[in-house]
A and B are shown apart, each in its own frame.
Chain A
């Protein structure tokens, strides 16, 4: 998705002869409608009159606050771990690199619930690694806010890695090489030259990861459970409210929708101005 940035712009085509051909236009409009109508339905069916009441309940802000904190923490963790990982994939050669790259992107296609189960088996109290965490440090991750952050990171980090790796591949490695020939260590070159160069790519990846983390449901409820104020994020609150109180679920959904739109609007100017 990135990467086009540094490629020379293709020569401008002569302004298209007429409008779009019908066989393209028709499905395109249908596609647009398919994506937008459900969101419009959400707005139409929203219990506007009862909304202030629905949204001022303490549970809502608790869930929203937790969602924002956890998504931000997950993004931070993704940056700390993901940027170096992306660099490794883009800039070094090692046996099995292709396989590693495929594995990194696995959580993108894995059903989140499966991710949650896998986390439970790895980091749970009785898990492969979690058992030792518990025995040595007395740390248990399931049912904790830290567990939510880990579940979200697991699902969101691949978005960041892919985005940053793409930017790195498009960035000219000769700047780094020049820096190293001038005596900088590879790490210094990375820190002083590469990092500023790929800044926009990292930012875009971070926003993608943040948005993905904010919407995370399956892995979170599977690994971290659901406890108000501790592990109950907005998507969980929406799902459970839907069981008995659809109006509340719609109200909560509206909040998430508003937050998502705000993010995209904020994004538009800096990173979304495609081509």
Chain B
């Protein structure tokens, strides 16, 4: 069945390769249908790409939907993840318009390389809370209660922001706490409590709020010493700078604040 000459085979291979390339380039150009306003006035269009800390998910999705409704023709796509890996992505050339980080340190990764168009601004703050089982069966009422020997407590690893904040709060309280695990992110810590594998975790208020009635939140005074600030900035190489700027304006508006405080964040 194979009677073709090598030359023909090579041609076929090249043809297939070319077709694949064409398909690829078609894909990439369709996603970049940018636009600088067709008629001039504040008509916005195009896709705003927002890289945002995972903890912002619920609030930002709500704001994204409102933004799209207000500006027909626009689309807001999100990339939620750990602030560190998002920052690394941006520094390495990921095409994004807006970066909202969970800590000034991670934002600094981008600003250090002049990656933002203008200085970042703090738009919300997040405070720690103890997440415990529904009904608080172990009667946890303070950070100190977590140091009891019979409790299984998980913390975030100190390499990630929620872990660094927890460490700060523990140090402020002068407490030693040996957790059963240092989780790789805040959701990982919360999940262990939701599944009842751990009795308590130190996480953000926003995560407790998002988990609904699967966990119960306990405030503790030392959390005031470890409040996380969330900076937001338009990126230097933003493909859709105008729309990106408009999205940031929405986030920082009274309306945006209301949505975010509804999700458990504190005013900046």
Contacts and interface: CB of A to CB of B under 8 A. Distances in A.
Given A125-B197, A225-B192, A143 B13 contact: no
B9 A226 contact: no
A71 interface: no
A120 B101 CA distance: 31
Contacts of B188: 221-222
B195 A126 contact: yes
B6 A21 contact: yes
B152 interface: yes
Given A23-B10, A126-B196, A243 B160 contact: yes
A226 B84 contact: no
Contact of B159 (A125, A225, A227, A243): A243
Nearest to B6: A21
B102 interface: no
Nearest to A217: B184
B159 A244 contact: yes
A142 interface: yes
Contact of A143 (B9, B152, B159, B184): B152
A125 B181 contact: no
Nearest to A26: B13
A239 interface: yes
B224 interface: no
B10 A120 contact: no
Contacts of B195: 120-121, 124, 126
Contacts of A69: none
- In this complex, the interface size class of chain A, counting residues with CB under 8 Å from chain B, is 20 to 34
Given A125-B197, A126-B195, A240 B181 contact: no
Nearest to B133: A126
A142 B162 CA distance: 22
Nearest to B152: A143
Nearest to A124: B197
Interface in A79-130: 120-121, 124-126
A240 to B, nearest CB: 5
A240 B9 contact: no
B183 interface: yes
A240 B180 contact: no
Contacts of B10: 22-23
Interface string A229-254: 00110001001111111000000000
Contacts of B184: 221, 226, 236, 239-240
Given A239-B184, A240-B157, A142 B6 contact: no
B157 A226 contact: yes
Contacts of B181: 143, 224-227, 231
B119 to A, nearest CB: 23
A35 B11 CA distance: 27
Contacts of A124: 195-197
Contacts of A221: 183-184, 188
A226 B198 CA distance: 13
B9 A23 contact: yes
- Kindly list the 3 A-B residue pairs having the minimum CB-CB distance in the complex, ordered from nearest: A225-B181, A126-B196, A143-B180
Interface of B: 6, 9-10, 13, 82, 84-85, 152, 154, 157, 159-160, 179-184, 188, 192, 195-198
Interface of A: 21-23, 120-121, 124-126, 142-143, 221-222, 224-228, 231-232, 236, 239-245
19 contacts: A22-B6, A120-B195, A121-B195, A125-B196, A224-B181, A225-B180, A225-B192, A227-B179, A227-B180, A227-B181, A227-B182, A228-B182, A231-B181, A232-B182, A240-B157, A242-B84, A243-B85, A243-B160, A245-B159
Given A143-B181, A227-B179, A236-B184, 17 more contacts: A22-B6, A23-B13, A121-B195, A125-B152, A125-B196, A126-B195, A142-B180, A142-B192, A142-B197, A225-B182, A226-B182, A227-B180, A232-B182, A239-B184, A240-B182, A241-B159, A244-B159
